[in-house]
Structure 1
Amino acid sequence: MRAAALLLVTLCVAGANEARAGILIRVDKSTQRMTVTRDGQTLYDWPVSTGMAGYSTPRGAFSPSRMVADYYSREWDDAPMPHAIFFTGRGHAIHGSSHTGRLGTPASHGCVRLAPAKAATLFALVKQEGMGNTRVVIGGDETAVAGRAAPRREARMRREQFDQDGFAPTVRVTRRRAYDPWGDDAWRPVGAAYPSPYGATYYSYGPSY
């Protein structure tokens, strides 16, 4: 009951902050997306990565406390955090990340990751408008998207393992399934050619998955 009352107060405060914010940065952990508005008009809608299991990004309404264009994490082996906008006293920040392939899924240690160019754009916008005229509102739940991301993580791990073993996956002709003329999705001799119904010849280098 106390937690529910606290969440209600937080949402009320967030609503009041949104009403007076020039720049509003909203992060939805359930969809892993960020929207940026200025005076109620949407400027950007970007994929992000929030905290993975065990490192949840805090929910609530925040004001940026400091900005550092070229920052390295002291806690996580000097990991680069370019164009960092810090919004909690515990060191949570919105920042650029080179792990762009994981954007759209929970993957951080609690920060909000953006593609580097988008982080630079947001940094410049907040610097221009002022931290005092910017609000960060974070809601949603990472676990809602974590389950959907699991199959994608497993497929990526299989691809990485095949690359390490010196194999490449069979060429796909659609996003849904590979064209497999043998019908059994099995291994084929390296360089084995087969015709495609799409008017080209493809070669088998490993298993389709």
Structure 2
Amino acid sequence: MFRYLFSLVFVGFLMLATPADAHAARLEARVDLSSQTMTVVHRGVVKYRWKVSTARRGKVTPVGTWRAKWLSRHHRSSRYNNAPMPYSIFYSGNYAIHGTNAVKRLGRPASAGCIRLHPSNAAILFRLTQREGLKNMRVVVRR
């Protein structure tokens, strides 16, 4: 009886000690660098699979997991000749997911490090992020 009671208390403690961030985000953008694709998972269901462009040779798209930090609907690059970056979702420093007008290059590396999407797909992801909130949007980049 004592062991059973101890087990229940221990399991309860573990459940309370688990940080909230350990649970799945409501919105996740999973980027696969090798296939140059993004899979969008919303509330546990795969909603979209899109072509992306990530870092071209000599540039880097960091690998890892981040929460979205801030949004900018009509962003322009301060580093690359004021290039348009519509529907930007910044997740790590100057790295963002954003729309591009170079849609013919989607599906292969072409960016300076950001994750580029077709503008209509970027708009969908941007609106989902607004709806779910920054703290509930996760960006996962894998090789």
Report the TM-score range of the alignment, normalised by the length of the smaller protein: 0.7 to 0.9
CA distance in 2 between counterparts of 1:93 and 1:61 reads 13
Equivalent-residue separation in structure 2 for 1:18 and 1:94 (angstroms): 23
Secondary structure in 1 matching 2:50: strand
Q: Percent identity?
A: 44
Q: Aligned in 2, Cα 1:17/1:56: closer, same or farther, shift over 3 Å?
A: farther
Aligned length: 124
Match of residue 118 from structure 2: 115
Q: In structure 2, which of residues 108, 113, 126 is the aligned counterpart of residue 105 of structure 1? A: 108
Q: Does 1:80 align with 2:92?
A: no
- Identify the match of residue 53 of structure 2 among 44, 49, 54: 49
Structure with greater Cα Rg: 1
Stretches of structure 1 that go unaligned for 5 or more consecutive residues are: 1-15, 141-209
> Match for 2:132 among 104, 129, 132?
129
Alignment of 1:1-209 (within 5 A): 19-89=23-93, 91-140=94-143
Q: Counterparts of 2:120 and 2:24 in 1: how far apart (Å)?
A: 28
The answer to whether the 8 A contact 1:70-1:81 is kept is yes
Who is 2:14 aligned against?
none
- Matched residues in 2 for 1:96 and 1:25: separation? 14
RMSD after superposition: 1.3
TM-score of the superposed pair, with normalisation by structure 2: 0.84
| Contact 1:68-1:83 within 8 A present in 2 as well | yes
- Structure 2, gaps ≥5 residues long: 1-19
More moved, 79-88 vs 18-27: 18-27
- Take 1:35 and 1:99, find their aligned partners in 2: how far apart are those partners? 20
User: Could you tell me how far apart the structure 2 residues matched to 1:40 and 1:61 are?
Assistant: 17
- The structural deviation recorded for 1:17 is 5.6
Higher relative contact order (CA 8 A, sep 6+): 2
Q: How many Å separate the matches in 1 of 2:103 and 2:131?
A: 26
